[in-house]
Amino acid sequence: MTGLATISLVCVPTPEQDEAVAFYESLGFEKRTDEPFGGGYRWIEVYPPEGTTGIALAPPPPDGGPVQPTNTGITLTTNDIDATHAALKDLGVDVDVGVSRMGEPVPPMFWFRDPTGHTLMVVES
């Protein structure tokens, strides 16, 4: 056995950390860590209300290159996909036009983008 036990964080680089924090807090996430990281940046961790795995809103790459939007692979869950889609849309979040329904066993889902352009998925549990 390797001793690996859980996934605690997923790192998502962001050039504007305060904007990213405000965005995730508007979704109901809570900031649990905010510490100096060097170069004027901070190490920031946000977590969904019932989550134990968080998102580290990491500073941009040290080489000074731009942060490239990516599909994060992060999948969030909700009990009501339609209500969540509508709520995010009402908040002004860049969400897909509609919910994808592919049929069993695939859950209904949609994608949205954070202010940096990173893509996250929401599925109905």
Domain ranges of the chain: 8-63, 69-125
- The matching CATH number, chosen from 3.20.20.70, 3.40.30.10, 3.10.180.10, 3.40.309.10, for 8-63 is 3.10.180.10
Asked whether this chain's domains 8-63 and 69-125 adopt the same fold, the reply is yes
**In this predicted structure, what is the pLDDT of residue 83?**
98
Residue 55 reports pLDDT greater than 90: yes
Query: What is the chain's mean pLDDT, rounded?
Result: 94
Cβ–Cβ under 8 Å, residues 87 and 67 = no
pLDDT in tens, 74-115: 999 999 999 999 999 999 999 999 999 999 999 999 999 999
Cβ–Cβ under 8 Å, residues 80 and 124 = yes
**In this predicted structure, what is the pLDDT of residue 102?**
94
Domain 69-125: which CATH class?
A: alpha beta
Cβ–Cβ under 8 Å, residues 91 and 27 = yes
- Using DSSP, state whether 39 is helix, strand or coil: coil
